[in-house]
Structure 1
Amino acid sequence: MKASNINKSGMFRIRAFNGKHTCPLKDRVYSQRHVTRYLIGGIVKPKFVDHKRKYTPADIRKDVKIDLGVDVNYMLAWRAREKALKSLRGTPAASYAKLPAYLYMMDITYPGSHIRMKKSMNNEFLYLFVALNTFIQGFNHCRPVVVVDVSHLRGPYNGTFVAASTTDGAVSDRIESIIKAVTNVYSNVPHYACMFHLWNNVQKKFRKSHEKLSGKKKI
């Protein structure tokens, strides 16, 4: 069949049509089935509504095989996943662009807070600091401790996020760079390692024998 658009009106004129078929329809269509990232992305999109759910390209490949009976490669499944996430949540760049308006509303909603966003000379996002007024007031009732924690960022904007809550004392991780920095700033303050963090490291490094140290966990 051949058709053409009529003056870009959205209507089409059939110019040629051959209604004679020499083989069954299923032989000409089913054997050449294929899917696009747009189709797969639309199908798997509801499965990303829960942001805590882990749904990998390997999972997509399995589901497409079961639901559609089509084999897709890993790259196509990955692109379909990115398409679904973009359609559902937007792009990371668009999310960063909304930060100024979001911080402005936070500053109005929580007066007395300390909210600062730092950009580079090229107007690119560097880091963000938020201390709500309620939390600031709460420090008056806290024990004198400094807690340093870190979270690794994933995705197109890889990096490391470090948070520190402080009054007068110091508690740090076992990482040497943190201990060195705390020693320089708080020269007369003792610092300690987080036992829970250390125990998790023991479990990861000594998977087969960490049970022998289970009695030390309660110390």
Structure 2
Amino acid sequence: MTKEYGVNISYNKAWCAREIAYALTRGTPKGSYVVLHAYGETLKMESPSTRFEIELENDVHFKYIFMALGPCIKGFSSCQPMIIVDGSHLKGKYKGTMLVGVSMDGKNQVYPLAYAIVDNKTDRAWKWFMSNLKCAIGEPPNLVFVFDRAVSIGNTIHAVFPIAFHGLCTYHLENNIFSNFMDNLIVGMFKDAARAFCMSEFQAH
């Protein structure tokens, strides 16, 4: 501001002005929560196969939201029968955690399938997410879930998708191997074995 307009303002005033500008152009988080129900119903009207669920606490306060768009659900049948799930903590004003389920398409690219906003990565939140995911996609044959070593995810998959195969993310296994052995040679051997496409190659590594 000083350089371009010759006006001296404090950092706090600049930050407040930025927040006001964001609110005017994009709306506020509070306002977005208010229109969630209307947003979900609009999505269902445009694409009836969309799965959009909201759970409230005491029938008043926002608790969970789940969304899987109809076209994404339909397109999943053309993807590999694999879902990678994970969660990430949100850093905004209202905090919470985003749970995500993605797949891989025919070109081996990330395919968005479903996501949820919950309070934390608890057993209850994961079960709610997985139950809605099952309502959206059913239980396809030969379905594989890939996740980190979180016990909550493993227990929930076993309960909600009992016939699905559970696989651990090689990135997390790789980190565990390195932390235990501190040997890049062993890590390299593991990576070669994990990326083998046939049994003979895997056994050789």
Distance in 1 between residues matched to 2:7 and 2:173, nearest whole Å: 47
Q: Structure 2 vs 1, CA of residues 103 and 185 (structure 1 numbering), >3 Å: closer, same or farther?
A: closer
Give the Å deviation of 1:122.
Answer: 4.7
Distance in 2 between residues matched to 1:172 and 1:143, nearest whole Å: 16
1:73 aligns with 2:48: no
Secondary structure at 1:76's aligned position in 2?
helix
Which amino acid in 2 is paired with 1:173?
D
Distance in 2 between residues matched to 1:78 and 1:213, nearest whole Å: 49
1:111 to 20, 24, 48: 48
The percent of aligned pairs where both chains have the same amino acid is 34
Give the Å deviation of 1:116.
Answer: 1.9
Corresponding residue of 1:193: 168
Corresponding residue of 2:88: 151
Distance in 1 between residues matched to 2:33 and 2:53, nearest whole Å: 14
Distance in 1 between residues matched to 2:2 and 2:173, nearest whole Å: 43
Q: Structure 2 vs 1, CA of residues 174 and 91 (structure 1 numbering), >3 Å: closer, same or farther?
A: same
Distance in 1 between residues matched to 2:187 and 2:2, nearest whole Å: 45
Q: TM-score, normalised by structure 1?
A: 0.52
Corresponding residue of 1:174: 149
Report which of the two structures shows the higher radius of gyration computed on alpha carbons.
1
Comparing 149-158 with 134-143, which one deviates more in the overlay? 134-143
RMSD: 3.7
Give the Å deviation of 1:129.
Answer: 1.9
**CA distances 1:130-176 after superposition (whole Å, capped 9, x unpaired):** 23333333444444434212233232111101133674332112334
**CA distances 1:27-62 after superposition (whole Å, capped 9, x unpaired):** xxxxxxxxxxxxxxxxxxxxxxxxxxxxxxxxxxxx
Distance in 1 between residues matched to 2:40 and 2:159, nearest whole Å: 33
Q: Which has the higher contact order (CA 8 A, sep 6+)?
A: 2
Distance in 1 between residues matched to 2:66 and 2:150, nearest whole Å: 23
Q: Structure 2 vs 1, CA of residues 124 and 72 (structure 1 numbering), >3 Å: closer, same or farther?
A: same
Which amino acid in 2 is paired with 1:174?
R
1:130 aligns with 2:105: no
Corresponding residue of 1:54: none
Distance in 1 between residues matched to 2:146 and 2:156, nearest whole Å: 12
Corresponding residue of 1:120: 57
Secondary structure at 1:156's aligned position in 2?
coil
Q: Structure 2 vs 1, CA of residues 175 and 71 (structure 1 numbering), >3 Å: closer, same or farther?
A: farther
Give the Å deviation of 1:215.
Answer: 5.1
Task: Verify the 8 A CA contact 2:56 2:62 in the aligned structure 1.
Answer: yes
How many residues of Structure 1 are paired with residues of Structure 2 in the alignment? 151
Unaligned runs of 5+ residues in structure 2 are 102-132, 135-139, 196-205
Corresponding residue of 2:100: 163
Distance in 1 between residues matched to 2:33 and 2:58, nearest whole Å: 17
Corresponding residue of 1:11: none
Distance in 2 between residues matched to 1:81 and 1:145, nearest whole Å: 42
Distance in 1 between residues matched to 2:77 and 2:5, nearest whole Å: 60
By percentage of residues, which structure has more strand? 2
Unaligned runs of 5+ residues in structure 1 are 1-63
